[in-house]
Structure 1
Amino acid sequence: MIRVLLADDEAMIRTGVRALLATDAELDVVAEASDGRAAVDLALAHRPDVALLDIRMPRLDGLDAAEEILRDAPSVGVAMLTTFGEDEYIARALRVGALGFLLKSGDPRELLAGVHAVAAGGAYLSPSIAHRVIAHARHGFARGADAHAKVGGLTEREREVLGLLAAGLSNAQIARRLHLVEGTVKGHVSAILVRLGAANRVQAAIIAHEAGVSGGQHG
């Protein structure tokens, strides 16, 4: 069972999201918060698998809440669920280490897929904003960097792992796909992040897309 913390200051939104999550038998909303400070407190108390956070909330916004949660409870996977897909929000979410960025206006199936991906240690970005994330990468942390050159410095196995990571697979899923033990995959991912100069899996995935790497293939 995937344990979810849901935080949104609008009761109607919380009700709707909770109802959607309830359609998946593997998801269980263990706590709800109407502001960012309560979200942090509940995340530390319940240690959910996924904290699903709105960005604009009273007392503490969702991005500040995400930063505190990831600092004090790094095992919690954080996904932002928001109406706003502005570049500054996307950039900050990536900087603090959120693994998911989902739009409330997106396909409901995206929300379910995103929660599952983040719970498994993977990353998920709403397809409708993926191009904006890549645009941010060009002008943000990857500005002036040659993604092809960075990826070219990886071993063939690391490129395979990077491609699957970029597709949103978790370490366990990559291990099964490549017939490796999970610890080996974890080692490859750590090496990839260092070689690419990426702070987290989402940044590595963006660099992979910039370099044309997907599904374990190097373009």
Structure 2
Amino acid sequence: MTAIRVLIGDDHRIVREGLKQVLADAPEVQVVAEAPDGEQVLAQVEALGGRHGLELVLLDVAMPGRDGIDVLQRLRKAHPTLPVLMLSTYPERQYAVRCIRMGAAGYLHKSADPDDMLAAVRKVASGGMYVTPATAEALASAVGRSDTRAGPEALSHREHQVYRLLTQGLTVTEIGAQLGLAPNTVSTYRARILEKTGTKNDVELAIYAERHARPAAL
């Protein structure tokens, strides 16, 4: 039986321990490394030799400093054959399309059933794509509006990072510290985000984000 060597990147220790417990049910899966932030994920991947030492990276979307989407971009450039399965507490409608467009091999909610988690790990490690019904629906919706991108999908990667933190209630200064940007730069991104979303302030932006996080009405 070929071992599936996995690196877990998540800033919450309890989540990493929970994932390791789930993966322990599959004898062929070996968690060979874990990291609490983006920089350490990148460093561990390099230390393990990329695809030579790993079959899969399980990567949280939202991490302090260099977030999961930024790490995904860097991994795709440095190790294009190394599969990355994104994990998040955010609904598929909000982040799955963006992650898959950037090269993720799948997107899975952290509350997923353990059997689904193991199925995703096995499929992605074998070179496949893991797409849940909710992700498939989000992808189909995105294709339908590909010529006229709207909503959060219209934002650039950096704008989307700032957008996510703004809607979590962080101040411009706090966002700058987390992303390594000057407050004035964050303010510029904030102005672009408000313009692209058609909102006037952070309150309207939070309402906008809530609306776009909900499933479309049937």
TM-score range, shorter chain: 0.5 to 0.7
1:2 maps to amino acid = I
Rg larger for: 2
Contact 1:8 1:54 in 2 (8 A): yes
Which of 10, 27, 30 is matched with 1:28 structurally? 30
* Secondary structure in 1 matching 2:62: coil
Contact 1:83 1:103 in 2 (8 A): yes
Percent identity of equivalent pairs: 38
Which of 104, 107, 131 is matched with 1:101 structurally? 107
Distance in 1, matches of 2:112 and 2:148, equals: 27
* Secondary structure in 2 matching 1:44: helix
For residues 91 and 129 of structure 1, do their structure 2 counterparts lie closer, same or farther at Cα, with a shift above 3 Å needed? closer
Residue 134 of structure 1 pairs with residue 140 of structure 2: yes
1:31 maps to amino acid = A
Contact 1:33 1:39 in 2 (8 A): yes
Q: Specify the alignment match of 2:20 in structure 1.
A: 18
Distance in 1, matches of 2:148 and 2:106, equals: 19
Contact 2:106 2:129 in 1 (8 A): yes
For residues 75 and 15 of structure 1, do their structure 2 counterparts lie closer, same or farther at Cα, with a shift above 3 Å needed? same
1:42 maps to amino acid = Q
Q: TM-score normalised to the size of structure 2?
A: 0.61
Distance in 2, matches of 1:119 and 1:18, equals: 16
The CA deviation at 1:23 is 0.8
2:8 maps to amino acid = L
The C-alpha deviation readout for 1:130-180, integer Å capped at 9, x for no partner, is 32222122223798xxxxxxxxxxxxxxxxxxxxxxxxxxxxxxxxxxxxx
Distance in 2, matches of 1:33 and 1:71, equals: 20
The CA deviation at 1:11 is 0.6
- Aligned length in residues: 143
2:120 maps to amino acid = G
The CA deviation at 1:43 is 1.6
The C-alpha deviation readout for 1:18-66, integer Å capped at 9, x for no partner, is 1100110010001101111111111222221100000000121101101
Residue 62 of structure 1 pairs with residue 74 of structure 2: no
Q: TM-score normalised to the size of structure 1?
A: 0.61
Distance in 2, matches of 1:135 and 1:129, equals: 10
Q: Specify the alignment match of 1:7 in structure 2.
A: 9
Residue 120 of structure 1 pairs with residue 122 of structure 2: no
Residue 78 of structure 1 pairs with residue 84 of structure 2: yes
* Secondary structure in 2 matching 1:125: coil
2:23 maps to amino acid = L
Distance in 2, matches of 1:97 and 1:51, equals: 13
Residue 42 of structure 1 pairs with residue 48 of structure 2: no
The C-alpha deviation readout for 1:110-143, integer Å capped at 9, x for no partner, is 1111111111110002234332222122223798
Contact 1:103 1:126 in 2 (8 A): no
RMSD across aligned C-alpha pairs, in angstroms?
A: 1.8
2:19 maps to amino acid = V
2:79 maps to amino acid = A
Matches within 5 A, 1:134-173: 134-140=140-146
Distance in 2, matches of 1:24 and 1:115, equals: 10
The runs of 5 or more residues in structure 2 that have no matched partner are: 150-218
